[in-house]
Amino acid sequence: MPLTPDDIETLRRLEESLWRAETRFDRAYMERVLAPDFFEFGRSGRRYDRAQILAHSGDTIRATLPLARFAVHPIGADAALVTYVSEVAYGTVERANRSSLWLRTEKGWRLQFHQGTPVA
């Protein structure tokens, strides 16, 4: 079945939740959202696996929401590529092109892969 407007809004809400400290650093929440074999190529160029992401604790995330240039690109009935530009303040504002691969499972949408690439 094709992606519905509800699917797109759910993916937006899920993606933005990863930029909110109250959900990003809630381990139980992140265990539900991340696929068992999730991995990420960070903006820094480093590779992170699920265990590393779950182990990370933090506090404030100074990200601009809603996410700029947010788009959902259907890959199939149960897969979507989400793209956007992140803007995060670390003294200066750092921008990155972001892409996330989301898969629909019997438990809902799960994040399979994420990548951040600095904006030139």
| Total-model pTM | 0.92
Task: Tell me the pLDDT tens digit for each residue of 69-116.
Answer: 999 999 998 999 999 999 999 888 999 999 999 999 999 999 999 999
Of the pLDDT bands very low, low, confident and very high (cuts 50, 70, 90), residue 24 is: very high
pLDDT at 111: 98
Q: Which pair of structure tokens corresponds to residue 52?
A: 């590393």
Cα 26 from Cα 90, distance rounded (Å): 22
User: What ranges do the domains of the chain cover?
Assistant: 5-118
**Residue 116 neighbours by CB under 8 Å, 6+ apart:** 40, 41, 42, 43, 86, 96, 97, 98
**Residue 110 neighbours by CB under 8 Å, 6+ apart:** 33, 34, 35, 38, 102, 103, 104
Task: Look up the CATH architecture of domain 5-118.
Answer: Roll (3.10)
Tell me which H or E stretch contains 27.
Answer: helix 27-33
pLDDT at 1: 60
